[in-house]
Every structure is written in structure tokens, then in C-alpha cells.
Chains A and B, each alone.
Chain A
């Protein structure tokens, strides 16, 4: 456990120094702040809903970009720069290395999600306060924004990015190049979102189609991490969501550790 913590802390520290993190964080903060100027293009939605949806979308895409980009970068840096060789010859097991790297990326994803979510919440709170003041006497003064909902929404997006990072780490263990891992990583993000469309084949389908259908259903369903629903307090259970994420993170980590065992270094 100590070795996992040490690798996680080194991964977190090394990835924090990469430009991709700083640039993604700055871009996300600017885009979220910029939603205030995009309010006129709300397509008929209420102002707060428009800003919230746009902000959560930016958070989701930024998180996915980091989950794929940083995971690929830290893994291939470790193998190409021979850090992995050094780590393994200091008594670290391959499974510990995988969990440590994932731990570092998970911390980084948290460091991205928290400030962006805080900015989004602050903007919404300021606008809601202004709107309530403008409509004084017309509305009952009850706020739409609930801190619990905002936190669960942020947690949902963070968990989603963590599952994606674990899947990408598994990809990296058998990928021959960074480009393959990056491309396939982003494809996974799309496929996991399209999970509800992966319908089971009917009775007339052949054995291969049936097996394939069931295998596809084993993939994580990213609609389980519906941040917008959580944001508006539709009763998403954070404990259930966390459990769902942990199952997939554990499964992908196990697969990654197994694959790394077979990889010729």
C-alpha cells in the first residue's frame, strides 16, 4: 500500500508539471466563465439551466480529455523513459505500479474538477442572486441551486473520468503506440456514453451476435454518471454511483496488471 501511495504521489507530481493539465484547466475555467457571455444563445432554456448545462459539459469533456491524455502520457513516459524498469527493480509489483499510476491520475482529475466546479457554482450563485433580486416579490425567493446537488454532479463527472482513465490505462498496457492509445481512448469515451444504444440481439440472432451483444453490455454505462440529473437533484444515489465506478475501476486495473505482466519490457 505504501508503494502504491509513493507511485501515486510521484505520478501526480509529474503529471501536474505537464502543460496539458495546466492548459486544460485554464481553458475549462475560461470557457466556464465565458458561459455568462453566451447566455443570449440559450435556445429558450432558462438562463441558469443554460449556464449549468454548458458548464457541466465543459467539465465532462475536459475531464475526459485529461483522463485519456494524461493517462497515456504518464504510462508511455514511464515505459519509454525506463522509469518502469527502475520502479520494478526496486521491488514494486506490476499491479502496484498500475494502481499507483491510476491513483496519481485520479488525484489530478480531482484537482481539475474541484476548481472548475467551484467556479461554475460561484457564477450560478451570483446570477441566481441577481435574478432573485430582480424578481423580488414575484418569486418565493427559493433557490434552485442546492449545494448537495452541485457536489454530487461534480462527483459524478470525476467518477466518470476515473473509470475512463482506468480503461485507458488497460489499453496502454497492450497498445503499441501513444497514438493508438489516444485514439482508442477517446473512442471508448463515446462508446461508454452510447451504452443504452447497445441493445441485446433478438432470439433469431446467431450465437456470435448474442455473445458479442452480452460482451458489449458488460462495458460501463456512462449515463449512470448523469451530472445534469444530479445537479437538479433528481435523487441520484452517490453511494451507488461510487460503487458502480469502483467495480469498473477495479476490473480495468486487474486487466491492466495482468496485461503488464505479459508485456515484454
Chain B
């Protein structure tokens, strides 16, 4: 991973301090983090709660300004109009307001991104179809299940066809089937040339994506490299672990499908 070079996303010795409490005590959320990603790469951010994953994503999305260092999206400073057009951001566990259907939500964000009228409708329909939500577009967004809500949030991130996707725990609280769908979708997006940066907690999900890994702790980058490097000495066992995980998921889905079949037969 090259530090600071031009690419889809580049962080150059980024530091972020938060002022906490009435006295404004400084809390360092990110400490001189450098990272460079090219188009078509998946980068998995791993680390315990409070390690700085969300802060890193928010800085890349232009929502937070770094205390030191800089962040570039396709060479443009994060937070600027041009950079905003190129990124799609999915926050952690968003909640949608009442009274809007899923389709209306996506059309609203398409219009905010500058695509109104027929173009906006076409973009919204494409985004809904991409995340497999087309048949749910008429359903009120607030009543969607957690998995479908996460998919809707991803559709909002995708609606203006960005080149860089920043996803904050897209599988949090989602059942195994919806998780598998989400991970498969991320792999498809990478194949379509998108750069995907995703914060995760589950190592098995990171294994499935098998992209670049950035491990953060207390704002410091503890590891940055390819998945194979991350595995290190346990690489030899990877085949069996991955096949075990894949087998478990397969068994789970098989049982679910069997139960559905029996339910339908009754």
C-alpha cells in the first residue's frame, strides 16, 4: 500500500483530534494514518470499537476535516464539490424518516445529487435494482427490515454512480443471508471498477472480501497490507477455515430453504 500517492483515495498522514467535554480535552481519533487505494480495490477497515474506522470514513467522505494531513479523492480534496460527486457514503445504521417509500427516498437523493426528473427516476431505479430492492420500492422505508434498510442505505450511496464507496459497518445487525447478499454485492461493485472501503467487525466477512486490510487501534494503523499478508502464519489453515465458514453458511441457508419448503407444503 503506497502512502500518499495519487489514486482513487489517498490519505496523507491524517490526524484527527476531537475536543471532548466542556474543557475541550483533546482526544486523538486518528494518528498519522496514510493510505492509498486504486480503482477497483476493496479495503477492509478492521479494529475494535473506537479505533478510528468511522472517523477515517467520515474524513474521506468530507464530513470531518482532519486536524493535520490531507485526504484526496481522485486527486481532489475531500469535502469539495468534485470529491463529493465521486464518493458514495453509507453511514452506520441509518434510520429513514416516516412517510417516504424506499423509491421516494432514492429519488430524493438522486435529485439532491443533481439528477431530477426522468434522469433522477432512471438513476433511482438503477440503484434500487443494483441492491435488489426494486420490488420493495413502494414500501415505506421506515418499515423495512434491518437488512433491507442497509440495502436502501447502499442504494442511496450508489444513486449518483460514485467511483469510491465508503461503507460504515454495512452488515451490522444483519442476518447471515442478508450479509451474504451484501458481501456478494460489494464484490460485484469492485468488479465494476468501484473502489470500496468498508469498516467491518467480523473477520469471516473480511475473509470473504479478501481485499486489502487496514487494522486500526486507538487511531493508529497497526497493519496495512493484502489479505494474505494479514493472515501471515495462519495462511496455511485458511483453506480449511474458509471452507468451514462457507460450509456453515451453506448449511444455514440450506436449513432455512428446507424449512421454507416444508412451511409452503403445509
Give the B-binding residues of A (Cβ under 8 A).
2-3, 6-7, 10, 13-14, 16-18, 77, 80-83, 85-92, 264-265
Of the candidates B62, B94, B114, the one whose C-beta lies within 8 Å of that of A83 is: B94
Give the chain B neighbours of A90 by CB distance below 8 A: 84, 109, 112-113, 156, 160
B95-103, B129-137, B254-262 - interface stretch: B95-103
Measured CA separation A80–B91 after assembly (Å): 11
**CB-CB nearest in chain A for B61:** A89
Closest Cβ of chain A to B193, distance in Å, is 20
Assuming the A-B contacts A90-B84, A91-B85, A91-B114, are A13 and B99 also in contact, with contact meaning beta carbons closer than 8 angstroms in the complex? yes
Interface residues of B in 223-256 (CB under 8 A from A): none
**CB-CB nearest in chain B for A80:** B95
Interface of A is mostly: helix
Any chain A CB within 8 A of the CB of B87? yes
Measured CA separation A7–B113 after assembly (Å): 12
Select the residue from A7, A87, A90, A265 with max chain B CB neighbours within 10 A.
A90
Give the chain A neighbours of B100 by CB distance below 8 A: 10, 13-14
Of the candidates A7, A16, A81, A83, the one whose C-beta lies within 8 Å of that of B99 is: A16
Any chain A CB within 8 A of the CB of B58? yes
Q: Are B116 and A2 in contact (CB under 8 A)?
A: yes
Q: Are B84 and A91 in contact (CB under 8 A)?
A: yes
Of the candidates B63, B92, B96, the one whose C-beta lies within 8 Å of that of A89 is: B63
Give the chain A neighbours of B18 by CB distance below 8 A: 264
**CB-CB nearest in chain B for A86:** B156
Q: Are A3 and B112 in contact (CB under 8 A)?
A: yes
Q: Are A86 and B91 in contact (CB under 8 A)?
A: yes
Give the chain A neighbours of B157 by CB distance below 8 A: 89
Any chain A CB within 8 A of the CB of B108? yes
Contact with A along B9-31 (1 / 0, CB 8 A): 00000000011000000000000
Measured CA separation A83–B87 after assembly (Å): 16
Give the chain A neighbours of B91 by CB distance below 8 A: 82, 85-86
Q: Are B64 and A88 in contact (CB under 8 A)?
A: no
Measured CA separation A80–B96 after assembly (Å): 11
Measured CA separation A90–B116 after assembly (Å): 13
Of the candidates B62, B95, B99, B113, the one whose C-beta lies within 8 Å of that of A82 is: B95
Q: Are A265 and B63 in contact (CB under 8 A)?
A: yes
Assuming the A-B contacts A265-B63, A265-B64, are A17 and B98 also in contact, with contact meaning beta carbons closer than 8 angstroms in the complex? yes
Q: Are A17 and B99 in contact (CB under 8 A)?
A: yes
Assuming the A-B contacts A6-B112, A81-B94, A88-B63, are A265 and B99 also in contact, with contact meaning beta carbons closer than 8 angstroms in the complex? no
Measured CA separation A54–B94 after assembly (Å): 44
Give the chain B neighbours of A265 by CB distance below 8 A: 58, 63-64
Q: Are A6 and B108 in contact (CB under 8 A)?
A: yes
Closest Cβ of chain A to B128, distance in Å, is 16
Any chain A CB within 8 A of the CB of B207? no
Give the chain B neighbours of A264 by CB distance below 8 A: 18-19, 64
Q: Are B95 and A14 in contact (CB under 8 A)?
A: no
Measured CA separation A13–B96 after assembly (Å): 13
Measured CA separation A262–B91 after assembly (Å): 20
Measured CA separation A82–B58 after assembly (Å): 12
**CB-CB nearest in chain A for B95:** A81
Measured CA separation A128–B97 after assembly (Å): 45
Measured CA separation A18–B18 after assembly (Å): 34
**CB-CB nearest in chain A for B97:** A14
Give the chain A neighbours of B160 by CB distance below 8 A: 90
Of the candidates B58, B63, B97, B113, the one whose C-beta lies within 8 Å of that of A81 is: B97
**CB-CB nearest in chain A for B84:** A91
Any chain A CB within 8 A of the CB of B81? yes
Instruction: Kindly list the 10 A-B residue pairs having the minimum CB-CB distance in the complex, ordered from nearest.
Output: A14-B97, A81-B95, A82-B91, A89-B89, A17-B99, A90-B112, A17-B98, A82-B94, A85-B91, A90-B113
Assuming the A-B contacts A14-B97, A91-B85, A265-B64, are A82 and B92 also in contact, with contact meaning beta carbons closer than 8 angstroms in the complex? yes
Give the chain B neighbours of A92 by CB distance below 8 A: 112
Closest Cβ of chain B to A251, distance in Å, is 25
**CB-CB nearest in chain B for A89:** B89
Any chain A CB within 8 A of the CB of B47? no
**CB-CB nearest in chain B for A78:** B97
Any chain A CB within 8 A of the CB of B210? no
Measured CA separation A22–B97 after assembly (Å): 17
Any chain A CB within 8 A of the CB of B88? yes
Closest Cβ of chain A to B121, distance in Å, is 15
Measured CA separation A87–B95 after assembly (Å): 13
Measured CA separation A120–B151 after assembly (Å): 48
Closest Cβ of chain A to B187, distance in Å, is 23
Any chain A CB within 8 A of the CB of B111? yes
